[in-house]
Chain A
Amino acid sequence: MVLEAERLIKHYGNHEALRGLNLDVKEGEVFCLLGANGAGKTTTIQLFLGFIEPTAGSARIKGLEVKDHPLETKRYLAYIPENVMLYPNLTGLENLEYFTTLAGCADLDLPTLQATLQRAGLPEDFIHQPVGVYSKGMRQKVGIAMAIARHAELLLLDEPTSGLDPKASNEFAQLVCSLRDEGVAVLMATHDLFRSREIATRIGIMKRGELVAEFAASEVSHTDLERIYLEHMHD
């Protein structure tokens, strides 16, 4: 198991953001977390990133407790948020080199990194351009390139296709699928039912900090997924 949550609880004062979440993601599996705003999707990802500590329960990556091994667990993962934030005065290549070096991949040479950016779909003309001129889709591709370059075993995606145009969103989904096929485990929080049905292995629906439904993506059609989702939202 690459990622495991066991009775994971997170309180913000009196607010219960997570209420005993149980979750696991295996190698080569894409687990999509669906749910309304405030359901606890982002909190779950933040807990696995170690940016916040759980109130109770366990969040493990490759068997290591995140709160006890905050640096070691990050060696296995790559994180792509809704907006991949990069340094606008550095080029895409310089950003990639910087982030991968800090992640411990100092042995990657520039041609390799350049090839990685191209694999992630970044137009060649933009590789040496400052990131300040990039579109959101291009920045997301640099984020994917980081995951590829680092050979991450786990991808944590927090609404990564939000705000992308359909073409960019599709390209992004294709990249995630190719990584999945290479054995990368993916936990993706999203509002995009269509895209989640397309790339997920399993889908979970979160509501008020709990996983209220969980099923294989192959078991449902797009229409079924929308119906199930709305039923849970109307409860």
Chain B
Amino acid sequence: MSLVFKVAHKEIREIIRDGRLRLLGLIVVILSLAALAFGAHQTHRAQEAREHSKERATQQWEAQGEKNPHVAAHYGTHVFAPTNVATAIDPGVSAYLGRSIKLEAHKRNLATHSAAQDGADLERLGSFSVATVLLQLVPLLIIALGYGLWSRERETGTLRQLLSTGVDRTTLFWGKSIALGLTLAALLVPASFVVFAVLWTMGGGNAGTLLRLGFLVFGYSIYFTIFGGLTLAASASASSSRAALVFLVGVWGFFSLVIPKVGTEFAATLQPLPSQAQLAREVSESLAKGISGKMERDTAIEAMVADLMAAEGLADTGMLVQGAQINGLELQAEAQWEDMIYDHHMVNLDNKIQAQENLISWAGFLSPFIAIRSLSSGLCGTDFAHHRSFTDYAEKWRKELVTQLNKDFATNADGEGWDYKANPELWKKIPPFQYKEPSAWFALKTHALSALALLVWLSLSLFFAKRSAIKVKTV
């Protein structure tokens, strides 16, 4: 056995014999059960609501009987973002931005059915999840395991005894690091398997989800290594175990509470978002007066109708155009006008949110917590980029749906005008909503800055941990 593993073996033997492993194991079991309970509850509720609503929406859409196509477009339908084991592990921004959208004519709705809206009071108070345990509580576990690895040896005098044998500090450093890593793995790996297996059974997933989980495990391993490095550095540098513990808890609070709050406030100040009421008012004003505020809606729509007629070859032909056809073209023109307004405001809103996200990503260089939080939600498909991907697809599908229904009205109404009722077969001809989640590479590309920040933190923490070990004082 190499000296490094001899040191690691001794450290692990001590952790087992002094009762730390039993105590921390108990804590891990409690945390895992709590995370599992919340995760399973959330997955079950999300799945149930989604399946129930989806089935009902499909049934209602297909069973609406004979109806005017534009009236059917008003009736609308609901679409849902995919859920799986990953979305149960880290709810990300889904808890606030929602996972479903009502699609209807004349209107681009925001996503709804967020956990914060649907959940019980407890969930509104704090979104506890598997990610909460991994992001905030496991670092505390690392601190509890490692804060005395150097300082306790110094306090008890065993460090002098050790160094008098001629063993070099680098060997001790790697031995202690491996012991910390193996102990943590022994605590977390079995618990993670159980949690993942249960959530997988409930939430499901595919090969893409597995790839995402693989990257997630890798990302969190780096995050835990960062905290392990910082813990060892503090333990080697602090004047006492108590000082090391106080310092590390302070660092944890700074990283996971202070910087995220300050970063969010800073981003909100630089890129303020409109309130829902303000957004609704702006949209309403733009619908009436155009984006510039200088255009009359009716004039603009008339021009659009003229363009559509020209495109259809109906202008300047001297042909008598049927009223229903005009109605259909007017509806298409109205939809174009509204789409233009909604696209402008929604893209503007999404760009501002994305700009906030980008600013917060830079804060990952100030706190590894922020970096892994962004990466984690990205890999779980619950970050803003995935939300935007889903809402953009939903909007594209909504436009196609409305266009198809309006076209049917324009083409088939003939002399019936608004009395025209489409055959129920039309509802079944509408292409299904088949949103495909982007790949894991999309998540990595989106959060490349956060991944880079994590790697920088990893380098720094290992550098400081090793440097502190080499300079560790015997008294």
Q: Which residues in A have some Cβ–Cβ distance to B below 8 Å? A: 49-51, 71-75, 77-79, 81, 83-87, 89-90, 94, 98-104, 106, 130, 150, 156
B165 touches A103 (CB 8 A): yes
Neighbouring A residues of B171 by C-beta, 8 Å: 102
Contact with A along B332-370 (1 / 0, CB 8 A): 000000000000000000000000000000000000000
| Residue pair B164, A101 in contact (C-beta under 8 Å) | no
**Interface-side segment among B2-10, B136-144, B289-297, B459-467:** B2-10
In the bound complex, do residue B14 and residue A51 qualify as a contact, i.e. CB atoms below 8 Å apart? no
Which residues from chain B sit less than 8 Å from chain A, CB to CB?
1, 3, 6-7, 10, 13-14, 17-18, 156-158, 160-168, 171, 474-475
Q: Which chain B residues border A77 with CB–CB below 8 Å? A: 164
B168 neighbours in A (Cβ, 8 Å): 71
B contact residues around A49 at 8 Å (CB):
160, 163-164
Once bound together, how far apart are the Cα atoms of A90 and B15, in whole Å?
11
* Cα A145 to Cα B162 with chains together (Å): 15
B161 touches A74 (CB 8 A): no
Q: How far is the CA of A74 from the CA of B169 in the complex (A)?
A: 13
Which A residues are in CB contact (< 8 Å) with B474?
51
The 5 closest A-B pairs by CB, nearest first: A74-B166, A85-B157, A79-B164, A103-B165, A89-B17
B160-A51 in contact (CB<8A): yes
Q: Is the CB of B6 within 8 A of A98?
A: yes
Chain A residues with Cβ under 8 A from B1's Cβ? 106
Check B18 against A99 for contact (C-beta < 8 Å): no
Tell whether, in the assembled complex, residue B165 and residue A90 are in contact, meaning their CB atoms are under 8 Å apart: no
CB<8 Å pairs between A and B, sample of 7? A49-B163, A85-B156, A85-B160, A101-B6, A102-B162, A103-B165, A150-B165
- Extra contacts, 11 of them, besides A73-B166, A102-B7, A103-B165 (Cβ < 8 A), are A49-B164, A51-B163, A71-B168, A77-B164, A79-B161, A85-B157, A85-B158, A90-B10, A99-B161, A100-B165, A130-B17
Q: Is the CB of B167 within 8 A of A103?
A: yes
> Which chain B residues border A81 with CB–CB below 8 Å?
157, 160-161
Closest A residue by C-beta to B161: A85
Chain A: which residue is nearest B159 at the CB level? A85
Complex Cα gap A89–B15 (Å): 9
A103 to B165, CA, bound (A): 5
